A and B are shown apart, each in its own frame.
Chain A
Amino acid sequence: AQSVTQPDIHITVSEGASLELRCNYSYGATPYLFWYVQSPGQGLQLLLKYFSGDTLVQGIKGFEAEFKRSQSSFNLRKPSVHWSDAAEYFCAVGARSFQKLVFGTGTRLLVSP
């Protein structure tokens, strides 16, 4: 069965510093991978997704993620964090043969001045 692990519940980053949020998945074949962001009181918004091809994926708001098959990881990165990036971030995994996505438990990002 598919599963997703986001090992960090909370992360605090200074404004202007770089960010990396970790995501590890469990699935036997090549998965579909997603990162979503949820601002307080809002629904989830897609940041980026990986289906195939180039393993470095660019998304909205200056985010990128890299698929590493050997590590079963899909970590999210941003070179310089802005205060407006404070939110909760969810990694999700899907596959062509499955009818649903499986979400991680989320990482809450706090941005300090």
Chain B
Amino acid sequence: DVKVTQSSRYLVKRTGEKVFLECVQDMDHENMFWYRQDPGLGLRLIYFSYDVKMKEKGDIPEGYSVSREKKERFSLILESASTNQTSMYLCASSLVTADTQYFGPGTRLTVL
């Protein structure tokens, strides 16, 4: 069965901290995605990656960076967390870019 896991379900950080969110998929998918989800705004794409060491900016990349050193792992990095980055973060993967995306359970991040 398809599985996408995220390192934490809940995370509380302080303003200015560097934050790492990890995502792992076991489906050998080429493509991986990071979204943030906020009430009334739906899912907004932060970054995606279509291959190891490759990355593309999504719709809201400011304040974030990503890393993909291995095919199965895609990390989202908040270089200096701010309160407006408090949100639900969802990771997804897909075999083909425009095809079905499989989602992890999400990480609810609170920045104080």
B103 within 8 A of A: yes
What residues of B have a CB within 8 angstroms of the CB of A42 in the complex?
105-106
Tally of contact residues, A, Cβ under 8 A: 24
What residues of A have a CB within 8 angstroms of the CB of B50 in the complex?
99
Interface 1/0s, chain B 71-112, versus A by CB < 8 A? 000000000000000000010100001111111111000000
Interface residues of A in 80-113 (CB under 8 A from B): 90, 94-101, 103-106
Interface 1/0s, chain A 40-72, versus B by CB < 8 A? 011111100100000000000000000000000
B40 touches A43 (CB 8 A): no
B98 touches A45 (CB 8 A): no
Tally of contact residues, B, Cβ under 8 A: 25
Within the assembled complex, what's the spacing in Å between the Cα atoms of A90 and B40?
A: 12
What residues of A have a CB within 8 angstroms of the CB of B105 in the complex?
41-43
B41 within 8 A of A: yes
Closest A residue to B6 by beta carbon equals: A43
User: Do A34 and B43 form a contact, CB below 8 Å, given A42-B105, A99-B48?
Assistant: no
Within the assembled complex, what's the spacing in Å between the Cα atoms of A97 and B101?
A: 16
A100 touches B99 (CB 8 A): no
Within the assembled complex, what's the spacing in Å between the Cα atoms of A32 and B100?
A: 10
Contact of B33 among A45, A100, A106 (CB under 8 A): A100
Contact of A99 among B42, B97, B102 (CB under 8 A): B97
What residues of A have a CB within 8 angstroms of the CB of B40 in the complex?
9, 105
User: Do A43 and B106 form a contact, CB below 8 Å, given A94-B98, A100-B33, A101-B98?
Assistant: yes
Closest A residue to B4 by beta carbon equals: A43
What residues of B have a CB within 8 angstroms of the CB of A103 in the complex?
35, 42-43
User: Do A98 and B97 form a contact, CB below 8 Å, given A9-B40, A103-B42, A104-B42?
Assistant: yes
User: Do A45 and B103 form a contact, CB below 8 Å, given A96-B98, A99-B56, A99-B98?
Assistant: yes
Closest 6 CB pairs of A and B: A43-B103, A94-B98, A105-B42, A103-B43, A44-B103, A99-B97
Q: List 8 A-B contacts (CB under 8 A).
A: A9-B40, A34-B100, A41-B105, A44-B43, A44-B90, A97-B98, A103-B35, A105-B42
